Amino acid sequence: MIDLLNFHIIPGLVLGSIYALGAIGVSLVFGILRFANFAHGDTMTLGTYITYTFIHLTPLYGIVALPLALLIAVPAAMIATGLIVLIIDRLFYRPFRNSPVIIVVIASFGMMLMIRSSIEMIWGPQLKAMITGIQPPWFFFDTIRVLPKHVAILIAALVLMGIIHYLLSHTKIGKAMRAMADSPDLARVTGIDTERVVKATWMIGTALAVAAGVFLALDGQMKPLMGFSVLLAVFASAILGGIGRPYGAMAGGLVIGVAEELSTYPWIGDGPLLSPGYKAGVSFAIMVAMLIWRPNGLFKGKVF
Amino acid sequence: MEQLYGYFLYSLSLLTFGGIYAILCLGLNIQWGFTGLFNAGVAGFFAIGAYVSAILTAPESPRHLGGYDLPIPVGVFIAMVVCVPVAWAIGRVCIRLRSDYLAIATLGIAEIIRLVFKNELWATNGARGVSFVPKPFEAWDSPWDQIAMALVVLVIVALLYIAIELARTSPWGRLMAAIREDEPAALAAGKNVERFRLEAFVIGAVVMALGGAMMAHYIKFVDPKMAEPLKATFLVWVMLIAGGSGNNKGAILGAMLLWFIWSITETIAPIIIPDSFAHVVYPFHLVASWFLPEAWMATPIAPDPVTGLDSWDSKAPFLRVFLIGLALQIVLQKFSSGILPEQRLQSLADTDDASARAARSSPS
């Protein structure tokens, strides 16, 4: 029974919070710009590689431990990646603001290829490790076994979600974002600067994507396809939570992450319920089922 | 002479691959170009066609299901037939979804199909794939087998073109255009919109399966990598958009053209470009090297420690993907209807183009 907690639920929560951070960005962009951004996964990857670069640039690296280097490098990477995404938006998405939605989706297809290949050209296609060496796990009550990096990821994800909650509910720009997600025309009539809201959306979504990517790299390895490989799980989380609902996306991410890990637990007999090779398929299956039977998600999101 | 012969064989392979991509593009054109169904799961149907035909015709092997030794045309035909219920089931549940939801769902389903082929070792030999898939005319002498294969593919493309062009101008095709342009009107005219969209989805998927089967027999091998979205889905989309969606000639032209570019940048670029490419990239590299530690930047001089290749050579394939993405953006912004724009049917020609295009994306 303790194996269930140690090897399935805790890793599931970690994976789930990574999905949740990615899904908030997808959900915000969908709510405000009204399109499914297929390049979001590759934005995660880009942010991770930029963070990696910053860590190696930080003069502190080697003097201070990795956690402090990350605390400096990640926010810097969030800003840098955010600026890149703003340039991308200006060049490749903004020309289509008044075009049919589908054109922007296809443009984000192209962006996905461009970001990914740029990463492969600049940093190379090989695997890299954000941290090296093996961490000994912490034990609680002699039975509960947790990796320190997992604790750090969970705490950091919670803090980030708290900040997002504050931004959306207590700041002017956050309220403007919610207003625009509810009704773009009404928002424009009340004098909201929609392009400013769009910029804020990209910055916030990208910042969370960078965090998600870095956590993913800490949990495993860095490779140019890491973001794309979780893209569908991130979409699944956003859809499960109700698209355009950032809080739903948080819940959706956790559900999908835990469901993926639980699918390999030996519920019946000795072998895993589902072969680990199909783990990624769990989120797609949940997503397709949701799209068909409850397209507005668990939390009554939008159906456009 | 030797070299000329090599170029001749290479251009045959260009034609054959381009023709197979043209088949995929024509399939996607039925779904997206005519009916407006955003299928991002081309790779799934492509893989089903490839695997079914390969398993039915490959010699017996203890590693995978097989030993049926059926003739190639029978294998290809069954592969297309198998695709019907699969596409019907997928379409049945997904067809109602709005454009980008449909894209997400089909992309997810294609990934599940890929996982099945990768994990069901007893049937497919997993990641190692099915080899020794028979190739038509293998027994013939060297240039003739390649010529015959290229001809077969091109004849299939021509027949498909004629068939789809007939369908397009038939009442069925006009109804597809009507559904895409103005679904409520088609509904009001008493048409069973969902059924016709499903028909277009299934027919398009069967054509994609045909493309997959031809690919399996041409390269004599199938593995789960064939179902990866980059080459089997996104490239096909770029081909169709660049060629002109809704136009069958455009679909074929886009497939051929993009495949020529794709292939030539792979085969010829490393031979003739390295120096000039290095000159283009070197300034950027120099600037980057001021900021980035030498230790982990691939330098233009030293070979890559992991791949062992000269690093510019190893980067050329990624530059190609970048250029394909950029080409897509340029086409979308500057030539949004592609090289050969859709030839609108008479009855629709006088409707306002802008409102028609807006209607294409309106919620169902």
Angle of helix B171-181 versus helix B353-360 axis, rounded to 10: 80
| B189-211: pLDDT as tens digits | 888 888 889 999 999 999 999 99
C-beta separation of A7 from A195 below 8 A: no
Return phi, psi of residue B310, to 5°: -60, 135
A139 class by beta-carbon count within 10 Å (0-12 exposed, 13-18 middle, 19+ buried): exposed
| B155-196: pLDDT as tens digits | 999 999 999 999 888 888 888 888 888 888 888 888 888 888
Q: What confidence score (pLDDT) does residue B308 get?
A: 43
Neighbours of A63 (CB within 10 A): 9
Nearest CA in chain B to A91: B329
Distance CA B159, CA B121 (A): 36
Reference B43, options B318, B234, B248, B322; nearest CA is B234
Among A101, A105, A121, the residue with its CB nearest the CB of B322 is A121
Nearest CA in chain A to B98: A304
Angle of helix A101-123 versus helix B99-119 axis, rounded to 10: 40
Q: What confidence score (pLDDT) does residue B304 get?
A: 45
Angle of helix B235-243 versus helix A101-123 axis, rounded to 10: 130
Nearest CA in chain A to B127: A277
Q: Tokens at residue A82, please? A: 């955010």
Among A102, A107, A280, the residue with its CB nearest the CB of B115 is A280
Dihedral sign for Cα atoms in the order A91, B105, B248, B364: negative
Interface ipTM: 0.84
Helices (H), chain B: 2-28, 42-57, 72-94, 99-119, 121-124, 142-169, 171-181, 183-188, 193-219, 229, 235-243, 248-267, 269-272, 274-291, 311-334, 346-349, 353-360
**Which residues partner with B6 through β-bridges?**
none
Among A56, A109, A285, the residue with its CB nearest the CB of B296 is A56
pTM of the model: 0.84
Q: How many CA atoms lie within 13 A of A256 on its CB side?
A: 40
- Cβ of B357 and A304 within 8 Å? no
Nearest Cα of chain A lies from the Cα of B8 at a distance, in angstroms, of 31
Q: Which residues of B touch A109 (CB under 8 A)?
A: 234, 237, 328
Taking the Cβ of residue B330 and every Cβ of chain A, the question of whether any pair is shorter than 8 Å is answered with no
Q: Tokens at residue B47, please? A: 């893989």
Q: What confidence score (pLDDT) does residue B363 get?
A: 44
**Share above pLDDT 70 across residues of chain B, in percent, rounded to a whole number:** 81
Distance CA B65, CA B274 (A): 44
E-strand stretches of chain A: 138-140, 144-146
Domain range holding B305?
2-360
Q: What confidence score (pLDDT) does residue B153 get?
A: 94
DSSP state of B241: H
Among B115, B292, B360, the residue with its CB nearest the CB of A53 is B292
Q: Tokens at residue B163, please? A: 């068939």
- A-B CB pairs within 8 A amount to 144
**Which residues partner with A128 through β-bridges?**
A222
Taking the Cβ of residue B328 and every Cβ of chain A, the question of whether any pair is shorter than 8 Å is answered with yes
Return phi, psi of residue A139, to 5°: -115, 135
- Cβ of A304 and B363 within 8 Å? yes
Nearest CA in chain B to A276: B119
Angle of helix A66-88 versus helix A194-219 axis, rounded to 10: 140
Taking the Cβ of residue B296 and every Cβ of chain A, the question of whether any pair is shorter than 8 Å is answered with yes
Q: Which residues of B touch A92 (CB under 8 A)?
A: 329
When divided into structural domains, chain B yields a total of: 1
Taking the Cβ of residue B155 and every Cβ of chain A, the question of whether any pair is shorter than 8 Å is answered with no
**Residue type, position A271, single letter:** G
Taking the Cβ of residue B324 and every Cβ of chain A, the question of whether any pair is shorter than 8 Å is answered with yes
pLDDT of A238 over the 80 cut: yes
A14 class by beta-carbon count within 10 Å (0-12 exposed, 13-18 middle, 19+ buried): buried
C-beta separation of B234 from B24 below 8 A: no
Distance CA A114, CA B21 (A): 22
Nearest Cα of chain B lies from the Cα of A169 at a distance, in angstroms, of 28
Nearest Cα of chain A lies from the Cα of B108 at a distance, in angstroms, of 5
| A145-166: pLDDT as tens digits | 777 788 888 999 999 999 988 9
- Cβ of B329 and A114 within 8 Å? yes
Pick from A92-101, A140-149, A226-235, B69-78: least confident: A140-149
Q: What confidence score (pLDDT) does residue A52 get?
A: 86
Cβ-defined contacts of B283-288 (< 8 Å, 24+): B288/A122
Reported residue count of chain A is: 304
**Which residues partner with B310 through β-bridges?**
B303
- Cβ of A100 and B105 within 8 Å? no
- Cβ of A100 and B94 within 8 Å? no
Distance CA A190, CA A182 (A): 13
Return phi, psi of residue A261, to 5°: -70, -35
Terminal-to-terminal C-alpha distance of chain A: 43
- Flag residues of chain B having pLDDT under 50: 276, 294-310, 348-352, 354, 362-364
Taking the Cβ of residue B158 and every Cβ of chain A, the question of whether any pair is shorter than 8 Å is answered with no
pLDDT of A139 over the 80 cut: no
Decide if domain A2-122+161-293 falls under CATH 1.10.3470.
Answer: yes
Distance CA B103, CA B99 (A): 6
Nearest CA in chain A to B305: A126
Distance CA B332, CA A100 (A): 12
Secondary structure (3-state) at B22 = helix
pLDDT of A207 over the 50 cut: yes
Reference A45, options A119, A102, A113; nearest CA is A119
Buried b (16+ CB within 10 A) or exposed e, B273-286: bbeebbeebeeebe
Q: What confidence score (pLDDT) does residue B285 get?
A: 57
Distance CA A2, CA A140 (A): 12
Taking the Cβ of residue B279 and every Cβ of chain A, the question of whether any pair is shorter than 8 Å is answered with no
